Amino acid sequence: MHAQDPVNWLDWSQDALKEAQIKNKPILISSGYFACHWCHVMQQENYLDLAAAKQMNQGFISVKLDRELHPDLDRYLIEFARQLTGRAGWPQHVVLTPQGYPFAAFGYLPNQNYLTTLKNIQQSWQTQSQNIESLAQQATKATQPKATSVLRPADFQTQLLQALTQNLDDLSGGLKGTSKFPESPLLIALLSFTSLPENIEEWLRFTLEQMQNQHLQDHVNGGFYRYTVDPEWQIPHFEKMGYDNALLAQIYFQAGQKFERADFIQTGKQTLSYMEEHLFDADLGLFASSQSALDLSGAEGGDYLFSKAQLEKKLSNKAFNYLKKAWRLDQIPPYDLGWHPLPTKQFWPQIKAALKTPVANIPRDSKHILSWNGLALSAYASAYQATQEPLYLQKANALAEQLSKLINSPNAPRAIDHKKAAIGLATLEDYAYIIRGLQDLNTVDHTQLTSDRLQTLNQTTQRLFLNAVGWQTNQDFLLPGQNRQAALMDDDIPSATAILECATADKGLTRNPLFNEALQQAPLTYSSYLQVLKCQNAHN
């Protein structure tokens, strides 16, 4: 996307550090992703602007980072930005010293603000580089977590439920806040409970109903959006991510079984159908990573919103007249582009068919990320477990075959592009989610082949990424401020280290004292670790 920018972009590698050191220039990392609306705006207003590009080229070594290819570095930069400025988000800009120590951060900025910010940072570096280098090094000195007593599953379970009780939104579902995300790792952890307190179980059911019935789900084209920008699930941010949909398909199949809810099972089926129709590349045997929030003309939500005139043109007179009342078309639309469809009591099949956007018209990323396909493998396993439909098992085995080939190949890639070319090196996350997918497949259809694949992949993962201190998140190199992790927190996706600990010989017991404190301080962000503590308990 940025190939034609007048900025002298570099890919992320040690060469960027070397060039910065030779030229004594700070490194400006711009982290974003294909489906991100404001990343596109940032490009149009700044990276394509000749004045901004000139300033970037003269004063900085500029690196364009796809956060989906480098999740560990992006996570580190986001955390730095959050601690420094109190906020973070994409596009995320972090400025590093030539030695790799971060010292400044900002997000999207309008053109004049961007030019001013670059000028101020450049002047500061030219006049105070030694002081900045010293302060940045002090701020990122490695600190190991304190070892504390071993945490037990029952204690963590209690702490998790207490933290959830304080943070749940019992009016709208989900967690309290100005926006609403699916919180998939937390939902998966809660579904694993043998029994839940009545208020938590009621909240869990309600949250699942809200997500499937309100505007987090695209009721016309299928699939879930990444989040809503309001607390009532009404105003979606229109990008759709492969990981969200894989996790939510799994969640709805599991919830359908647990609560004996046919509607949840149906939502799981519809979500997998969306992924197969919109994201799957049959030539590669893999799912693409995302669909953009922007339509082909660059309008945010343009593939999913409809003006009154468009509705009248697309629908029969009866259906349109019905919608005039049902959607209050005589009032001001909720979006500049019109209305976002919700199912209606009448004419819905006709309305849905008329409003569906052709798949080829929705911009799709060309990356097919291994780890997110591992999540899709888990979704297929859950689908088969819930429905016993043989086709789900066939598709799971085909995906497992493809992922096993890729992850066991020399220099296993992070992703495959649409031309079958490898992109980057597989990270800890890729190995972890493929392992989890194979585990889930083995649970519903135990075979010696899957067991052998699991054993081999576990051994490879520990050899590449694990030592006594913890897990390294990639195979390449770490910045000076990045440390091995005893425990990665959950994000939009489950913690990779939480998946892997149970496969180590000691079930993670030697590292339990190192992550105990983090789990107790922020149980909601480490909910995947409930399973680690359970397997440790069984190991004892």
| Listed range (130-144, 179-193, 309-323) with the worst mean pLDDT | 130-144
Both 122 and 57 in one domain: the answer is: yes
- Domain span at residue 319? 308-356
The CATH number of the domain holding residue 52 is 3.40.30.10
Has residue 269 got a pLDDT over 70? yes
Tell me the average pLDDT across 81-109: 92
For residue 301, is pLDDT > 80? yes
Residue 183 shares a structural domain with residue 242: yes
**178 falls within a domain:** yes
In a domain, 400, yes or no: no
Domain identity same for 280 and 314: no
Q: Which residue has the higher pLDDT, 139 or 266?
A: 266
**Whether residues 132 and 181 fall in one domain:** no
Are residue 229 and residue 179 in the same domain, yes or no?
yes
Give CA separation, 259 vs 254, 389, 518, in Å.
Answer: 9, 20, 32
**Which pLDDT does position 440 carry in this prediction?**
97
Co-location of 182 and 284 in the same domain: yes
Confidence grade of residue 146 (pLDDT, cut at 50, 70, 90): low
Q: Are residues 250 and 337 in the same domain?
A: no
Considering the domain architecture, whether residues 241 and 286 belong to the same structural domain is answered as yes
pLDDT at 52 over 80: yes
pLDDT the model gives residue 145: 58
Contacts of 197 (CB under 8 A, 6+ apart): 161
- Which residues have a Cβ under 8 Å from the Cβ of 345 and sit 6 or more positions away? 326
On whether both 113 and 202 belong to a single domain, the answer is no
Q: What pLDDT is stored for residue 84 in this prediction?
A: 87
Assess whether pLDDT exceeds 80 at residue 43: yes
The mean pLDDT of 59-78, rounded to a whole number, is 92
**326-339 as b/e, with b when 16 or more CB fall inside 10 Å?**
ebebeeebeeebbb
**Across 434-463, average pLDDT:** 97
- Dist. CA 468–CA 313, nearest whole Å: 65
CB distance 142 to 483 below 8 Å: yes
> Both tokens of residue 345?
């009591």
What percent of the chain clears pLDDT 70, i.e. is strictly above it?
A: 98
Statement to judge: residues 38 and 98 lie in one domain:
yes
pLDDT of res. 510: 85
Helices 529-539 and 512-521: angle between axes, nearest 10 degrees: 140
Q: What is the DSSP letter of 283?
A: T
Rounded CA separation 341/351 (Å): 9
- DSSP state, 332? P
Report the CATH number at residue 281. 1.50.10.10
Say if 247 falls within a structural domain: yes
CA-to-CA distance for 355 and 327, rounded, in angstroms? 15
pLDDT over 70 (residue 142): no
pLDDT of residue 3 exceeding 70, the answer is yes
Residue 208: pLDDT band with limits 50, 70, 90: very high
Domain count, the chain: 3
What pLDDT does residue 127 have? 94
Query: In this predicted structure, what is the pLDDT of residue 34?
Result: 87
Asked if pLDDT for residue 225 goes beyond 80, the answer is yes
Residue from 71, 24, 36, 53 nearest 430 by CA = 71
The stretch 355-381 carries a mean pLDDT of 97
Q: Which pTM was predicted?
A: 0.90
Same domain for 21 and 85, yes or no, is yes
pLDDT at res. 416: 97
Measured between alpha carbons, how far is residue 408 from residues 399, 467, 539 in Å?
14, 21, 29
Residues 315 and 281 in one domain: no
Q: Is 423 buried (19+), middle (13-18) or exposed (0-12) by CB count in 10 A?
A: middle
Q: How confident is the model at residue 147 (pLDDT cuts 50, 70, 90)?
A: low
Question: Is 70 exceeded by the pLDDT of residue 148?
Answer: no
**Collapsed DSSP state (helix, strand, coil) of residue 71:** helix
pLDDT tens, 457-494?
999 999 999 988 889 998 877 788 887 888 899 999 99
**Whether the Cβ atoms of residue 52 and residue 74 lie closer than 8 Å to each other:** no
Alpha-carbon span 405 to 479, nearest angstrom: 30
Average pLDDT of span 499-518 = 88
Which whole number is the average pLDDT over 100-120?
94
Average pLDDT over residues 492-512: 91
Q: What is the predicted pLDDT for the residue at 72?
A: 87
Final residue of a structural domain among 241, 262, 291: 291
Least confident among 63-72, 207-216, 278-287, 467-476: 467-476
Q: How confident is the model at residue 523 (pLDDT cuts 50, 70, 90)?
A: very high
User: Cα(185)–Cα(249) distance, rounded to whole angstroms?
Assistant: 13
**416, 69 contact by CB (below 8 A):** no
Residue 143 in this model has a pLDDT that exceeds 60: no
User: Which of 44, 136, 139 lies closest to 91 in space, CA to CA?
Assistant: 44
pLDDT, tens only, 410-430? 999 999 999 999 999 999 999
Classify residue 129: in a domain, yes or no.
yes
Last-in-domain residue among 299, 324, 356? 356
The whole-number pLDDT of residue 151 equals 79
Q: What percent of the chain has pLDDT over 90?
A: 82
159 within some domain: no
Mean pLDDT value across the chain: 93
